[in-house]
Structure 1
Amino acid sequence: MLYGIFEAIFIQFPFQLLVSEAVFLTDSPKRTHFLPRLLTGFLLQILLSALWNAVLTPYESTSLFYYMLLYLGFAFFTAIPIWGSFDLELRELIFILAGGYATEHMTFALSRIILQKLHNLYPLYGSLPHLLLTRYVIYLAGAAAVYLLIIRPNKKANQLSDGDFRIVVLAFIIMVFAIGFSVYWSYPEEYMGTPMGDVICPSYSFLCCALVLLMEYYVLRENSMKREQEMMEQLLQISTAQQKSSKEAIDIINMKCHDLKHQMKALAKIEDDRSRTEYIQEIQDAVSIYDATYHTGCSALDYVLREKTLIFNERGIEFGCMVEGKMISYMASADVYALMGNALDNALERVMKEKKGERIISFQIRHHNDMVLIHLENRCSRMLQFENGIPVTDKKDRSQHGFGVKSMRYIVEKYHGELFMSLKNGKFNLDILLPSQEEA
């Protein structure tokens, strides 16, 4: 009975595929209620595979096309537990199905070659150990080998959603043709046990499937390098903008220092004590604006706030700040400076388009449900268009703008956080959720 269960094609082949596909899912995000979804998906997949096998069984002895339909149907059904349990895009699912099928078929081809060289038969002959070894255990080993040799070394580039959809589909087509040729040469009885059926054709299939995997990961690596290059260009542009902002702050200080020199000379000429006291008070009020000191618990954030506050005050912007900088002290100083500096610069650019008296920016960093919430809010009376959660720039040359927001999202995702932007009731809201310091 046990042998009969493991021998069933709708049990063993989906198992081989799912094991091969699983190694591509190691870093994929899981859906809520993962285990119930996974178990339900498995049951549904087994039921549909058994039904598919029963429907096609009458055609088994009349057409080799039967095997193509049978195995591709099994592959399609394995998408059910994967799609239901993991949060994947369509291109990611196609990538995993193609990669998993290629991995399974490489193991199948290699096992046939090895058994032929050992003068053993690939077809089953009633032995449970032989069945478990050639239909189950060897596929676990094959999947592990692909993970160690291909997937893990390319983990940095393993961002499936960034893959080129056309190349993924092309890889899938190549894989289907490789399997088709393998089926054509492997299942006719005259090729069973021959070098053509057990060595030459499996070798060809192995090479084609290896090409599928290499092609997929080559595309991923190229996309990863392209993405990193774009981010470097974006960060360079942000650095240039922030240098301009710092220069502006220094120019403001120099200008005020120059004015103070003349004011001090004028003060020396004032003889009336009351007038002198009033003049001194005016000077003190003017100087106090540029003496903003922050002690938030994050030195990089303190620096950003001092610089931006100087500019806000000079331009007549009302700035409210309630932050606990120690919550983000685990972030690299360069990331804090780029993220917060860019966010405040964007808010500054928006409020400067508002009327005087309505130029208001509010900035908070606080706890929110065991997370760190960074909330930046500014007045925005204009309508904005959003694409993929990011406001579309209204500048003519869009290719040279929008980098700032993308780099912010890049930094947030680097720390496993989420970034949200919205426009409600005449206010632009930027919300960033990050893991707390304890969880980071």
Structure 2
Amino acid sequence: MFILQVLGINSEHLINITCFILQLLLAEFLFFCHMEKRKHFILRLAGGGVLFYLFSVLGPSFIMQYYTGFRTILILLFLLLYMFLCFKRSFADILFCTIGAFTVQNLANNLNVIFCGLIGTTFQMVSWEMFLVFGIVYLVCYFCCVKRIENLPDISTDRKKILAMTFMALIVCWVLQDRLIKEGLDLMVVCRAPFVFCCILSLFVQFGFLEQFRLGEEKAALEQLLKENEKQYNLSRQTVEIINMKCHDLKHRILELESKENTDKSQLEEIRQAVDIYDGLAKTGCRPLDIILSEKNLLCERYHIKFSYMVDGTKLEHISPGDIAAIFGNALDNAIECARNLPDEKRVISLIGYARKDVLGIHIENYCEEELRFQNGLPLSTKGDANYHGFGLKSIRHVVEKYGGNIVVSLKDRIFSLDTIFPY
């Protein structure tokens, strides 16, 4: 108490700053609840929380005896250190989320002042109006902003311009609001309205542009993946053609050996069966699809997977070879990767193509014992890094939508299904 008296902190001021800190911490919780925590998190959270509170109360008050206007900036710095102490993320990511939390708190506080003015009640830091307004604002901001970054492993990588613009907008908002407080105009509704707009604009810049950057990066990655699929198809085509030539020569050689009397017929039959596996090129009426199915069939033989297919490839003539490779190659790669880790009796993949009037449908299914989480109609990657995995199904959807079609992915009763429908 003696220190508080020396610093000129009365009980009302202490309640207000405590309420402000709690509002900030709740906003921080919205942004950081899904992030990876450091070791001894509870100890860091408790110890760091006590230090953060003491520094936030005593530090700004001590400095403001000599120079005013730095309270919010100092609390921001203390909060950055506190979050960095508790969560295992880069400092740029911590700064990104902390600025977002400060903006959300500032938005809610300004709306609280406006709400109190509109209903004709006196503004107080602790009131039922505060709980109502902050609850609604925090809930809306969570679903509109925070949900967009839950699955981003690196929020601010290569997005420093967004971070700088957001930080500048927030500083301008703080400086103007500080002037209003000094002039005694901060409780006027007409003065608070521009700050509500400024906070919303800041959040739009921060998270709207972030979404645009993410979609742009994803599109570039998909285009690169499609190019790689086309290269892989050309390589597979050349490989299959060479194998067919060699198998054709081996069959002639086997016929020559069978004509000799001292040849072991049983060994020749084993060799013939082995050659037939590699010479069994699929014949669907679509050369690119035949190449893909033949290649994947060899993979299935290697992993003892039962692979059956029935499709009329003539309906795919309007689709480029690279796009066919993207659709069927990625779909079958995913199915094989899943099936190879299952018991032998569940290593089954089925592909069916059907045509009805002017619509072509493709159905691929396989057993899947993993628990999948879906987002935007597609399962999230189970490889731990959604930023670098999970583009296979996205590339399929990208290609199918290019031809005016659509895909539906589902997991029911341990059966994973991929259905593709597009006109032909």
Q: Supply the AA of the counterpart residue of 1:18.
A: L
Q: Name which of 220, 231, 234 aligns with 1:241.
A: 231
Deviation of 1:135 after TM superposition, in Å, equals 5.8
- Matched residues in 1 for 2:132 and 2:304: separation? 54
1:24 aligns with 2:10: no
- Matched residues in 1 for 2:229 and 2:192: separation? 55
Q: Supply the AA of the counterpart residue of 1:111.
A: N
Pairwise CA RMSD: 4.3
Q: Supply the AA of the counterpart residue of 1:248.
A: Q
- Matched residues in 2 for 1:142 and 1:231: separation? 35
Deviation of 1:73 after TM superposition, in Å, equals 0.9
Q: 1:265 to 1:414 in 2, by over 3 A?
A: closer
Q: 1:267 to 1:57 in 2, by over 3 A?
A: closer
Q: Name which of 384, 388, 413 aligns with 1:417.
A: 384
Q: Name which of 143, 147, 165 aligns with 1:148.
A: 143
Q: Could you tell me the TM-score, scaled by structure 2's length?
A: 0.60
- Matched residues in 1 for 2:295 and 2:49: separation? 52
Deviation of 1:151 after TM superposition, in Å, equals 3.5
Q: Supply the AA of the counterpart residue of 1:220.
A: L
Deviation of 1:185 after TM superposition, in Å, equals 1.5
Which stretches in structure 2 are left out of the alignment for 5+ residues?
Answer: 2-9, 279-292, 307-327, 343-377, 387-413, 417-424
Q: Name which of 28, 39, 49 aligns with 1:42.
A: 49
Q: 1:226 to 1:153 in 2, by over 3 A?
A: closer
Q: How do residues 48-127 of structure 1 correspond to structure 2 at under 5 angstroms? A: 48-59=55-66, 66=68, 68-122=69-123, 124=124
Q: Supply the AA of the counterpart residue of 2:141.
A: V
Q: 1:205 to 1:16 in 2, by over 3 A?
A: same
> What is aligned with 2:199?
209
- Matched residues in 1 for 2:245 and 2:266: separation? 19
CA deviation profile, 1:322-359 (whole Å, cap 9, x unmatched): x7989xxxxx9836727989xxxxxxxxxxxxxxxxxx
1:174 aligns with 2:169: yes
1:198 aligns with 2:170: no
Q: Is the 8 A contact 1:304 1:340 kept in 2?
A: no
Percent of aligned positions that are identical: 19
Q: Is the 8 A contact 2:104 2:199 kept in 1?
A: yes
Q: Name which of 248, 252, 264 aligns with 1:262.
A: 252
- Matched residues in 2 for 1:290 and 1:132: separation? 81
- Matched residues in 1 for 2:115 and 2:153: separation? 31
Q: Could you tell me the TM-score, scaled by structure 1's length?
A: 0.58
- Matched residues in 2 for 1:110 and 1:24: separation? 20
Q: 1:163 to 1:43 in 2, by over 3 A?
A: farther
Deviation of 1:212 after TM superposition, in Å, equals 0.7
> What is aligned with 2:160?
165
Q: Name which of 27, 40, 43 aligns with 1:33.
A: 40
Q: Is the 8 A contact 1:158 1:220 kept in 2?
A: no
> What is aligned with 1:334?
330
Deviation of 1:111 after TM superposition, in Å, equals 1.4
Deviation of 1:99 after TM superposition, in Å, equals 1.0
> What is aligned with 2:322?
none
CA deviation profile, 1:220-240 (whole Å, cap 9, x unmatched): 111221122122123212322
1:259 is paired with a residue whose SS is helix
> What is aligned with 2:126?
131
Q: How many residues are treated as equivalent by the alignment?
A: 311
> What is aligned with 1:358?
none
Deviation of 1:159 after TM superposition, in Å, equals 5.8
